[in-house]
Amino acid sequence: MKYCSNCGKAAEDSDAFCTNCGRAFAQTEGDLFNRESSPNTTYSQPSYTQTEPAQSNLAKTSMVLGIVGFFFAGFILGILAVVFAEKSKAETNGVMVSEAKTGKVCGIINIVLSVVSIAAVIITVAVGISMGIFLS
């Protein structure tokens, strides 16, 4: 009786491989050498590509448009910010990164503010015309 050096399971002396994990038992110096030089013992480098933060130029563009929209051409830049935010998801595996979220939120705020201010102007003009008619 012998024991697997890998998983510790008992095995028959005649077994060439562990019946539990499949590890080869070293029978001779030659076997030991072959086992140590086998490709199975090479370590693969862990991949860190999954943990890298997602980068998206579209998301950054969306954020810039959303912020600039507060000062200039809010309605147009707001729409563009939302569009770029949605497009950026394709660059970041369907995930909306923080830049894109910022751009989208700012864009929506810009659109709403623009619509409200345009409505305010229209109402003011309409009221002004009405007052003018009544006062004349």
Minimum distance, C-beta of residue 48 to Zn ion, in the bound complex (Å): 31
Q: Which one of the spans 2-10, 42-50, 97-105, 123-131 is the region binding Zn ion (CB under 5 A)?
A: 2-10
> Between 104 and 123, how does the x/- string for binding to Zn ion read (CB under 5 A)?
--------------------
> Between 12 and 41, how does the x/- string for binding to Zn ion read (CB under 5 A)?
------x-xx-x------------------
By the rule CB under 5 A, 55 interacts with Zn ion: no
- Taking the CA of residue 79 as centre, how many other CA atoms within 13 Å lie in the half-sphere pointing to its CB? 5
Q: Which is nearer to Zn ion, 9 or 118 (CB)?
A: 9
Query: Hey, is 107 helix, strand or coil?
Result: helix
By the rule CB under 5 A, 81 interacts with Zn ion: no
Do 111 and 72 contact (CB within 8 A), yes or no?
A: no
Q: Which is nearer to Zn ion, 2 or 9 (CB)?
A: 9
CA nearest 80: which of 57, 55, 113, 103? 103
23-8-33 Cα angle (round to 5) = 35
11-14-19 Cα angle (round to 5) = 40
Name the phi and psi angles at 24, rounded to 5.
-75, 135
Q: Which is nearer to Zn ion, 6 or 38 (CB)?
A: 6
Among 2, 6, 90, 125, binds Zn ion (CB under 5 A): 6
Q: Which is nearer to Zn ion, 23 or 89 (CB)?
A: 23
Burial class (CB in 10 A: 0-12, 13-18, 19+), 38: exposed
- By CB under 5 A, name the binding residues for Zn ion: 4, 6-7, 9, 18, 20-21, 23
